[in-house]
């Protein structure tokens, strides 16, 4: 049964929102809370997607004997047809594939975060940003030119863990999975921000020297933050690959997977996870509406409708920076204790003072 157009639009919107919100939350940990100018976010996102394109399919091809004298890269569509035929009737294997692939992508993201941070974390912020940006471009160039990894410029098909759902409901299942992962990551990131570690990250961001004076190993903490942020971003890249069903190196660019998340964080409010969600929702919804209704806008524009989204997004970003430089929902101080605990302490202090 075909899904209504409005429902299809909403499902596609929520899927994109979930993926970009995950990537933006990872950037919020690095930049919003710790002050690391990670302009190499593409590195982790592409790394997670490249892992999904390179590893799970090859493993399943040998497990299911799906190669049958076929080349994994050259005959990728035929190989994946054989694999997906089995996955379509094996729900347990499909779910296991999804979970292990996401965990593997997170592990690869952590490794890439460590590799990127090790030589660069001691650099000044401007040099650090340039170094991370360069490392991301290097990985994408490897993906484009080393065909044995993910098929070079042609790309590679990947196993579909949602094939067992069938039909257009496959996209519903994929979207629900993305949203569940987003909620888990949001809970994790919000827990960090409200913990003593979150206050340590803010201290490093606001005054690195003062944090060192109080015995904090700033370099080590920043390296760990980059590893955690990269793990989360890699999960977003893996989910993006599973949603599309293939991995093509050309689909991962610094504009889409580095600069767009930066815009989302700035618009929503750095160091505020719910602000980042709002910024992601505004950005993705605006782009989706313009893309979906481009034929409606075309008669009223003196230029190609393709440029409308860039124009509107630029205007929105300028307005936010002028009137709300801290974002639509700015950072709020996190309480060490709950309000009830604070009230109890105040009552006890008043009783002691009265005596």
Domain ranges of the chain: 5-253
Q: What's the confidence (pLDDT) of residue 132?
A: 87
How many residues does the structure list for the chain?
A: 355
From the list 243, 166, 162, the residue with the least C-alpha distance to 1 is: 166
pTM of the full predicted structure?
0.91
Alpha carbon distances (Å) from 160 to 57, 297, 333: 9, 36, 43
CB 201, CB 33: distance < 8 Å: yes
Residues 6+ apart with CB under 8 A from 64: 82, 83, 86
- Helix (H) or strand (E) segment spanning residue 141: helix 125-145
- Which 3 state secondary structure label does DSSP give 27? helix
Sequential DSSP letters for 66-87: --TT--TTTTHHHHHHHHHHHH
CB 290, CB 312: distance < 8 Å: yes
Alpha carbon distances (Å) from 227 to 63, 277, 307: 32, 22, 36
Six token digits for residue 24:
């933006």
Helix-, strand-, coil-residue percentages of the chain, each rounded to 5: 75, 0, 25
Q: At what angle do helices 273-292 and 5-27 cross, to 10 degrees?
A: 140
From the list 293, 271, 317, 235, the residue with the least C-alpha distance to 45 is: 235
Euclidean distance between CA atoms 111 and 275, whole angstroms: 29
pLDDT, mean of each 10-residue run, the chain (355 residues): 78 95 96 92 96 95 85 91 92 95 97 84 73 91 93 93 88 95 96 90 90 88 93 97 94 93 94 94 90 80 81 84 88 71 81 74
From the list 106, 91, 211, 221, the residue with the least C-alpha distance to 161 is: 91
Q: What's the confidence (pLDDT) of residue 347?
A: 84
Q: What's the confidence (pLDDT) of residue 294?
A: 79
Alpha carbon 53 to chain centroid, angstroms:
17
Six token digits for residue 338:
């709950």
Long-range contacts of 16-20 (CB under 8 A, 24+ apart): 16/284, 16/288, 17/280, 17/281, 17/284, 17/285, 18/175, 18/178, 18/179, 18/181, 18/182, 18/239, 19/178, 19/236, 19/239, 19/240, 19/243, 20/236, 20/260, 20/261, 20/264, 20/280, 20/283, 20/284
CB 294, CB 346: distance < 8 Å: no
């Amino acid at each position: 049964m075909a899904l209504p157009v409005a429902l299809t639009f909403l499902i596609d919107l929520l899927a994109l929102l979930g993926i970009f919100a995950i990537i933006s939350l990872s950037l919020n940990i690095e930049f919003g809370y710790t002050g690391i100018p990670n302009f190499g976010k593409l590195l982790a996102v592409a790394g997670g997607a490249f892992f999904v394109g390179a590893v799970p399919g090859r493993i399943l091809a040998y497990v299911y004997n799906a190669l049958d004298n076929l080349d994994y890269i050259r005959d990728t569509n035929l190989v994946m047809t054989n694999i997906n035929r089995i996955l379509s009737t094996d729900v347990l294997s499909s779910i296991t594939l999804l979970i292990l692939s996401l965990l593997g992508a997170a592990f690869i993201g952590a490794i890439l975060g460590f590799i990127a941070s090790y030589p660069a974390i001691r650099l000044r912020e401007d040099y650090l940003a340039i170094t991370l940006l360069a490392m991301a471009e290097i990985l994408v160039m490897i993906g484009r030119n080393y065909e044995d990894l993910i098929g070079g410029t042609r790309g590679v098909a990947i196993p579909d863990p949602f094939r067992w759902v069938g039909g257009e409901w496959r996209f519903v299942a994929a979207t629900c999975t993305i949203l569940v992962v987003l909620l888990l990551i949001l809970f994790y990131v919000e827990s960090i921000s409200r913990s003593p570690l979150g206050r340590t990250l803010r201290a490093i961001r606001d005054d690195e020297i003062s944090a060192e004076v109080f015995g904090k190993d700033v370099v080590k903490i920043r390296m760990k933050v980059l590893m955690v942020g990269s793990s989360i971003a890699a999960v977003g890249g893996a989910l993006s690959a599973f949603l599309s069903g293939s991995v093509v190196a050309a689909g991962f660019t610094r504009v889409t997977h580095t600069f767009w998340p930066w815009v989302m964080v700035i618009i929503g409010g750095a160091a505020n996870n719910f602000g980042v969600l709002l910024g992601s929702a505004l950005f993705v919804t605006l782009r989706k509406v313009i893309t979906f209704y481009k034929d409606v806008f075309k008669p009223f524009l003196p230029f190609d409708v393709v440029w409308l989204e860039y124009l509107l997004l630029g205007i929105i970003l300028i307005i936010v920076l002028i009137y709300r430089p801290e974002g639509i929902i700015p950072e709020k101080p996190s309480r060490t204790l709950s309000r009830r605990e604070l009230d109890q302490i105040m009552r006890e202090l008043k009783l002691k003072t009265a005596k």
